[in-house]
Structure 1
């Protein structure tokens, strides 16, 4: 990878293709095992969520953003319809692609689609260890709403729920 990598080198598509569900699951399992020591149960959690998304998918109210560089998947984000709310899930950027503004770009795309669909609320679950992600979410108006102790991912941690009220987000703009 070139040291001069920029956002212009990344393509972002909004449809799933054969192989994506498995690869997204693999990337999460592999990356979160290396970076946070999450176990196989985390990968199974992602697989189950991706299946749920696929089975209820409607392009009018659900969206994926698949980031690719030279035809290789290097990032991902998903918006899942939960009725009047949208759930942000499976936000991932490979380490060598961080720091070029891709996270901000994905959040901008997420927020645009959220407003386009006229969702009233958005939420996400993350863990206490993902400080950088939490900081990014808070920059977009998400705020901590709930925290629970968990060992669901093969180790003890705190799962944290963040919520964004679209009325609050609209009033800030």
Structure 2
């Protein structure tokens, strides 16, 4: 849904039903992505390569790529002919961020990432189109007023009730 759904899912559903892709704020927030198959493969690789007794703890970043929200919107729009709409950001977050992560450890263990550009995006766009008849169009846009300034323009919360207060 528009309030709590992941950005990629939201864009795919919006494109499938002909709704503009909603980028909140500048769209400069960087997000990490991983296909569920790659996520499972990462767990398998980690389990099959345990640390030796007494080794230091190692951190493995379970992701395969990062994209800024506005760039992801343009990718989806390019595949679907959807329009991109820039809206006020309902969240209190930095307008831009640089999420810096790397997955060299999983790559060294044999992970062969599935990326959006290498066909994954085409696959999920087709799935979204196939099931668009199941989408409740009223749940697509973000309707929560997460800040005092935005609450005045919000007509209802995702559950259809009038907002009582905004923190």
Query: TM-score of the superposition, structure 1-length normalised?
Result: 0.25
Higher RCO (C-alpha 8 Å, min separation 6): 2
Larger Rg: 2
Between Structure 1 and Structure 2, the one with more strand by share is 1
